[in-house]
Amino acid sequence: MFVSVAFSMLFVLASCDFSRDHSASRKSQLSFKAELISKSNSTDTVLFTGKDIKSINGTTGEIRFVDASMIFKIKSFHRVKCYLGSDSLFTATVTLPVVSSLVNDLVLNLKTDDGHFYFEDGYPDWINNQAVSDLRIKNKEKRATAWSRFIDELKKEEIYIK
């Protein structure tokens, strides 16, 4: 009896696929559409969805992807628009270490020290100017409701890290 139970358990465990990527089976309401830097048409391209996100850190703003090559794809776009279903939540400007412009609203910033993208309230982050800081706070407050919906969806999809 013991041998047949042990054999049955071994068969069940052997048939399980422990290395399977669960993101493929995960449903997501999030989609991120992108604009080309030199946009020649009026339609946005779906760049990635919530299924492509491994995690987003709520403290640092870091976004990690299931496939690291997504970082290279994002670099060729100027803006990324986030949708929850058909509702547009926010737009983030893509900023790279070579960008020399000032952005006082949400950015998806590529950090040179680790090669990952981060959601930040402006670019560059080292600006120490009261008027700029006030404008960034005001813009953050404007998108607070949409950002809250975004975080709620990340939590529901279990890709939010505190």
30-36 and 77-84: which strand pairing?
Answer: antiparallel
pLDDT digit string, tens, across residues 61-82: 999 999 999 999 999 899 999 9
Question: pLDDT band at residue 40, thresholds of 50, 70 and 90?
Answer: low
pTM over 0.85: no
pLDDT single digits (tens) 139-158: 999 999 999 999 999 999 99
CA dihedral 152, 157, 161, 162 (to 10 degrees): 30
Q: What whole-number distance in Å separates Cα of residue 124 and Cα of residue 142?
A: 20
Query: What value, to the nearest 5°, has the Cα angle with vertex 89 and ends 87 and 90?
Result: 140
Strands ordered across the beta sheet of 30-36: 45-49, 30-36, 77-84, 87-95, 107-110, 117-120, 62-65, 53-57, 160-161
Q: CB–CB of 43/34 below 8 Å?
A: no
Q: What mean pLDDT comes out for the span 33-56? A: 80
Query: CA dist 82 to 11, 46, 48, Å?
Result: 44, 10, 10
Q: Specify the pLDDT at position 41.
A: 55
Report yes or no: 111 and 118 within 8 Å, Cβ to Cβ.
yes
